[in-house]
Structure 1
């Protein structure tokens, strides 16, 4: 009898490898320690007996960098970096992942790649192929890609039954982004840092960094800061009559809303007071609904984590990834808000039926029938983020539990009924002016019973009849001031980044974290992002020299080109050359103009009451 063939399976993380091996081996496996653990067992593979090894990498095996000859800042003109060669080196040489994969692949005739199913995961697939010595062009039938969205038994077995080829185009798209970001970022960063340190002394060894994603992200924060500082406050006045009816004390809203002239507003107040008798001129009722949410994608999870749970996006993704690797939620990096037609809602609901917090709600949905989800967006990557198995608070750390709880609530809400309510508007006339009041009465809580923070506020009104006249009890002339916008919150910044194509669901948290760590912005109460003097100075400098460098359009342009590569519609070498040439031209112009626009001017900082610490950096044009 011929010995069984050998199959090597590689996952992205040790915990995922363990989950895969446990399912495929039905728990009948041996485990030995290595750089990462290796699980071994026998299975039926493609219709024949096979001996299987399952191991993992720890994220990317390689990272890109310049050769040693380009590492010396003083010996290399940053302009030359745009055409410099690059090389891939092991991301963590001490981990010896490359050697580990090479050793474990010996004698193996098949390779199955269980990397995360996004572009980064696809790129790691080809890193693993390189380390193991498998070459797709020479032996396509021997290299397979498993596509899965969770580490449940059902998803793992389904992936094994539907193995595909790895996607070279998506991997090349990541290569393109890495090379562009490296060359553009390092060239500008080296020049800026050297220029300021050389002209203005030691900047506490601070690296004044630039990034095609990082800098437009900072630009949003500074743009909001400039809107705040240039805002001119204005006084306004509005007239509020009050009435008392059947025990209700009601303040009425003015149809004119507000006026910016005190004399005119006072005139209207007098007209209402002199008349003193309101007439009901219209009563309208309208059945309205508040729609249940679509499926949960990464961006929306990050926004809720920041605005409602108080987690920064970087922490939120770390928690989500931990929940995923533990098997509690599906893959947390997805752009899709539409569930696939094959999604089994009943099975997912049954997992939550015993939960003490929302089990009763789940039971009602199973008995009365759950709703068809709203049409969302199918980005062609992963399904929305959903719970995969039940958990209780004592099973998870505090913050992980809060995030898991929200994922569960959002999923249940997405297939619950819409919230239904009746909106009643009563309109009045007095002294020739029109006023109104609005009441709301909820007829069906729907999804808001599981997401109570989105509930419609009840406001009861007394009974009115058209033509009825009611005495005015008081007429207030309210004085207020127009207010500037507030600083951007993380949640608002994430929305702007998504809308303008800055970063991906995987990289948005990284870019926000970078501008915080580099002291370009500070996170203040309410997770508001307040730019520092250094961050303001950098963006104002770009705005004067070349606004493209800090506007979102420049990153959108890059992402569009990279997406063409991922779809196989553009050659990745040509895309990289084209983008780098654009940035090389911008770099040359930037270097020529920077002397005219950036200068040390501490007095100007003092006038603005902005502290820049020992750096003293400021734009002065």
Structure 2
């Protein structure tokens, strides 16, 4: 018997599909990764008996990332990220999804993919195919081996119909997702790494662990900051409104509206008031009654669901979509990610409606619609993806949790409303003449509540009073007055309004819109205020203003919307994947390079709005290098900063940092330059050059305090100034073969180099290389011998010279082997800290060094 492997996107979806296809007769076992299940049953496929196995993934199987060394923020120039290699890695290694797929696909004949029917789902299809291609019996890319199920709801009818109409995975749509992932990775990481390192190294109160940039995220933030700027620059204007009240014979008062609406000149407004103030009669000159319609909604799509969840239900769009996806996998609603607002021609509207007729919430309204006949839904937009979001089975409030019920309640009421009548009301406008001025009174009365009976929050409200009057009737006019008002600024954008702007400008997709809004909230660029309004923080405002100063296109929606159009062309097979990728990457690479060159323009804004590291935080612990107090900066990310050494050290996040038994008076010998930990970048193993010539146990270590480079003994007071004006000096891993000291690399700028032949970089021994010796400043030494024991040339008994540069002294001093003669306690690496050759040598590899250090 042949075997068919089925793969769904989530474990819950796999269980529901397996139960429906097997008619509840499948057997279930735990998968090898303990996160998924294996459902098995016998059935028929392609007119032959088949053993079905269904399992699942948990979203994307693979994720895109840079290869090993390019993930190091400190060693890679961010501009390299635009061209460096990338690779696919396991998205969730702990779940071992690829291993599970490989194990379950062994010797299988068919692969049937039940992934979500959107572009991301198509991409996951090909991820699954790549995981199983070595283990399946046939060619995984053959249309006779791999099949794709298309469905929009988890119901028996939809699932079995999908099984009978299997198709092929769409490679073009998958490639468009690959392109989006790669572009977002390269662009986002390059800008984010540069910004984060630059600004967190200069300011202490940013309160953000990441200063991120995103091609979608940043234009979204731009909408919020643009509205903030409009509010800040708004100048209120004073205007005056002429108000008059008319009274009917029954004593009912009618507030009249001035036809001119308002006047911005007080003198002119007073002139109009003076013209009618003494007139006590209001004459009816026109009565117009017109029936108006408040149309029922079109079918529900993702964007509208997110808008309503934010504005009406008080839920963030990201959370609302998570709840909607759970309802979908449980079979309560149809697939919640769709751009379509038009029901398909063959959609069973009546069948879906009948499922709701016994509800105690809206059953009466549903039965009335069924009895009177459903109204033809309004024609919406057909995006060609999934049908609109609808309820798929009845539910009561006790079946679902709080937010789940509120989403289900709205989806169901919206669906019923699309089949209901329009709301109709009668609008009566009565025009009055008072002297030379015209006024109006309008009253609305409900004719037919229509769909507002089910969507009660849009109900018409109470009928307004409309007096029975005729043309030429006269009412008493009184209370003539001028009312002073002021124009008011716009309010901050709500999440609902931001979603509308993102949809309008093509920023993101229905799946990614809530993610981008959630990102700018989590990264402290905006805060969610009352009414779910997005209020930009100081950091968000400064970032956007900085982009606008350097390159406004980085924050405008036009760049992303143009890119989305290109990605859509890839999805429909009308654009080349590599051409779009290469072209877009090159554009952003050039923008990034210009951004880096112009970063000072943004830094000027940060300098005005934020505190430098030197003035932030509080004194906490002493620096191991200079022994001055470092400042503990609690704002994200928590870190320690030494203003003297200009060094910043990261700390564990989300915890409490306290001093543990620190020495109150740090003495010499207790600093970083005495640390023997094998991996410490400031310890003697990393910065030691040679043994000290003055003391028995000291090591000369490089003090990386550019531009005043020096060697300092970690035990005594010896200091040797070296390589003045060098831009960089580092200690190498290799030792000098002649003297055993560690070699040193020195770098100069081209215009300030002191190296021979105007070279800018050189690696050699500090003692054996004459060029280096000439660049190192040391104190001269005077030596005296007895006449009978002198070792100086020409039998002289006294000589003063440099201990390092004078050849006579070099021959008399075993300075470079001073480390070798030290006790083993002062160990170091290479020539700077070797013990006696008969003693145990230090291990070379890092793991062995770590073991030796701790054991």
TM-score scaled to structure 1, two decimals? 0.95
Report what 2:127 is aligned to. 127
C-alpha separation in 2, matches of 1:87 and 1:380: 33
Distance 1:602 1:190, change over 3 A: closer
2:14 is the alignment partner of 1:17: yes
2:314 is the alignment partner of 1:310: yes
C-alpha separation in 2, matches of 1:59 and 1:192: 31
CA drift of 1:270 comes to 2.4
User: Which one of 438, 442, 455 corresponds to residue 442 of structure 2?
Assistant: 438
C-alpha separation in 2, matches of 1:589 and 1:345: 56
Instruction: Please list the CA deviations of residues 272-298 of structure 1 after superposition, one character each: whole Å capped at 9, or x if unmatched.
Output: 221221111111111211111000000
Report what 1:570 is aligned to. 575
Instruction: Please list the CA deviations of residues 200-241 of structure 1 after superposition, one character each: whole Å capped at 9, or x if unmatched.
Output: 468567211000000000000000000000000111110111
Report what 1:82 is aligned to. 82
Higher RCO (C-alpha 8 Å, min separation 6) = 1
Report what 2:110 is aligned to. 110
Report what 1:374 is aligned to. 378
C-alpha contact (below 8 Å) 2:283/2:473 kept by paired residues: yes
C-alpha contact (below 8 Å) 1:370/1:416 kept by paired residues: yes
Report what 2:722 is aligned to. none
C-alpha contact (below 8 Å) 1:200/1:600 kept by paired residues: no
Report what 1:519 is aligned to. 524
Distance 1:243 1:600, change over 3 A: closer
Instruction: Please list the CA deviations of residues 480-526 of structure 1 after superposition, one character each: whole Å capped at 9, or x if unmatched.
Output: 11000000000000000000001111001100000000000000111
C-alpha separation in 2, matches of 1:56 and 1:178: 23
User: Which one of 290, 298, 322 corresponds to residue 326 of structure 2?
Assistant: 322
C-alpha contact (below 8 Å) 2:140/2:146 kept by paired residues: no
C-alpha contact (below 8 Å) 1:10/1:114 kept by paired residues: yes
Count of residue pairs the alignment pairs up: 609
Report what 2:685 is aligned to. none
C-alpha separation in 1, matches of 2:606 and 2:145: 65
5+ residue gaps in structure 1? 617-621
- Flag the structure with larger Rg: 2
C-alpha contact (below 8 Å) 2:203/2:610 kept by paired residues: no
5+ residue gaps in structure 2? 618-632, 637-855
Matches within 5 A, 1:369-518: 369-457=373-461, 458-518=463-523
2:291 is the alignment partner of 1:294: no
587-596 or 169-178: bigger deviation:
587-596
Distance 1:454 1:136, change over 3 A: farther
Secondary structure at the residue paired with 1:126?
helix
Instruction: Please list the CA deviations of residues 152-191 of structure 1 after superposition, one character each: whole Å capped at 9, or x if unmatched.
Output: 0010011011100010000000000000000000000011
Distance 1:452 1:596, change over 3 A: closer
2:375 is the alignment partner of 1:354: no
Report what 2:671 is aligned to. none
Report what 2:763 is aligned to. none
CA drift of 1:243 comes to 1.4
Instruction: Please list the CA deviations of residues 564-610 of structure 1 after superposition, one character each: whole Å capped at 9, or x if unmatched.
Output: 0000001111111111011011111111111234226665679xxxx
CA drift of 1:465 comes to 0.7
Secondary structure at the residue paired with 1:281?
strand
CA drift of 1:437 comes to 0.9
C-alpha contact (below 8 Å) 1:283/1:466 kept by paired residues: yes
C-alpha contact (below 8 Å) 1:299/1:505 kept by paired residues: yes
Distance 1:188 1:198, change over 3 A: same
Secondary structure at the residue paired with 2:598?
helix
C-alpha contact (below 8 Å) 2:206/2:610 kept by paired residues: no
Distance 1:305 1:543, change over 3 A: same
C-alpha contact (below 8 Å) 2:546/2:605 kept by paired residues: no
C-alpha contact (below 8 Å) 1:101/1:132 kept by paired residues: yes
C-alpha separation in 1, matches of 2:487 and 2:100: 64
Distance 1:602 1:86, change over 3 A: closer
CA drift of 1:96 comes to 0.4
Distance 1:190 1:482, change over 3 A: same
Report what 1:532 is aligned to. 537
C-alpha contact (below 8 Å) 2:129/2:140 kept by paired residues: no
Distance 1:599 1:341, change over 3 A: same
496-505 or 136-145: bigger deviation:
136-145
Report what 2:56 is aligned to. 56
C-alpha contact (below 8 Å) 1:248/1:461 kept by paired residues: no
C-alpha contact (below 8 Å) 1:114/1:147 kept by paired residues: yes
CA drift of 1:195 comes to 1.4
Instruction: Please list the CA deviations of residues 50-92 of structure 1 after superposition, one character each: whole Å capped at 9, or x if unmatched.
Output: 1000110000001100001101112111111101111010000
Secondary structure at the residue paired with 2:392?
coil
C-alpha separation in 1, matches of 2:502 and 2:406: 25
C-alpha separation in 1, matches of 2:559 and 2:634: 32
Q: How large is the RMSD of aligned CA atoms in angstroms? A: 1.8
CA drift of 1:442 comes to 1.4
Report what 1:619 is aligned to. none
Secondary structure at the residue paired with 2:278?
helix
Kindly report structure 1 stretches of 4+ aligned residues shifted beyond 4 Å: 134-138, 201-205, 600-606, 611-616
C-alpha separation in 1, matches of 2:141 and 2:42: 27
